[in-house]
């Protein structure tokens, strides 16, 4: 079993205990997600320290107001790390609206370009943004391996499956 989306850096107890407990429960691989510059190094650190842990690096849609040229360059540099297996999470979140929709879309396009350049899957956070998410993915990520996380568009499952996109089972 693989946990394809966790945030070890915000969980208690310490990473080592969490990884051991997951292993005891049958989880053989964990992808811990860095959602912005402050958590990218923590995700990579956990991946370097624990053999079954890997990192996904991106800029969460609610925090993309700080996704400037410097953050883009740093993300591109860190995403080349051997233990980084995916780009994201990124996407559209109209539920919380922590950033303007156009800023979220611009960041998602940049993440898709990086995923394509590095040949890594793209992890998409989508909440209350079904039409815009699907249009954005068809236009900018049709050729990518896409994992839909924080998926809130049950009525569009068949369309997403037809596009070849994968799903993570999250709390929403």
Task: Indicate which CATH number applies to the domain containing 57.
Answer: 3.20.20.140
Q: Is 54 helix (H, G, I), strand (E, B) or coil?
A: strand
Mean pLDDT of 100-120: 97
Listed in sequence order, the residues at least 6 apart from 17 whose beta carbon sits closer than 8 Å to its beta carbon are none
Higher-confidence residue of 1 and 132: namely 132
Position 172 pLDDT exceeds 90: no
Position 34 pLDDT exceeds 90: yes
Q: What is the CA radius of gyration of the chain?
A: 15
Mean pLDDT of 75-91: 97
Position 111 pLDDT exceeds 80: yes
pLDDT in tens, 113-122: 999 999 999 9
Position 169 pLDDT exceeds 90: no
Q: What are the φ/ψ torsions at residue 156 (nearest 5 degrees)? A: -115, 10
Between CA 145 and CA 163 the distance in angstroms is 10
Between CA 130 and CA 151 the distance in angstroms is 9
Range of the domain at 127: 2-167
CB 33 within 8 A of CB 59: no
Q: What are the φ/ψ torsions at residue 125 (nearest 5 degrees)? A: -95, 125
Residue 126 forms part of a structural domain? yes
Mean pLDDT of 9-30: 92
Between CA 27 and CA 115 the distance in angstroms is 26
Residue 58's pLDDT band (cuts 50, 70, 90): very high
Between CA 105 and CA 158 the distance in angstroms is 23
> What's the structural domain count of the chain?
1
Residue 118 forms part of a structural domain? yes
Rounded (5°) CA angle 58-61-64: 80
Residue 172 forms part of a structural domain? no
Amino acid 67: pLDDT: 93
């Amino acid at each position: 079993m693989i946990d394809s989306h966790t945030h070890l850096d915000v969980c208690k107890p310490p990473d080592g205990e969490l990884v051991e407990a997951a292993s005891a429960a049958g989880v053989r691989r964990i992808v811990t997600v860095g959602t912005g510059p402050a958590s990218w190094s923590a995700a990579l650190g956990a991946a370097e320290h624990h053999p079954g842990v890997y990192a996904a690096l991106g800029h969460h849609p609610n925090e993309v107001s700080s996704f400037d040229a410097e953050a883009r360059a740093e993300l591109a540099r860190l995403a080349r790390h051997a233990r980084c297996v995916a780009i994201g999470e990124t996407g559209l979140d109209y539920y919380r609206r922590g950033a303007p929709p156009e800023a979220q879309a611009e960041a998602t396009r940049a993440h898709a370009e990086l995923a394509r350049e590095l040949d890594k899957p793209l992890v998409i956070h989508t909440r209350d943004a079904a039409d815009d998410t699907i249009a954005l993915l068809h236009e900018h990520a049709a050729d990518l391996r896409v994992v839909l996380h924080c998926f809130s568009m049950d009525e569009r499952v068949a369309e997403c499956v037809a596009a070849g996109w994968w799903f993570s089972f999250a709390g929403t």
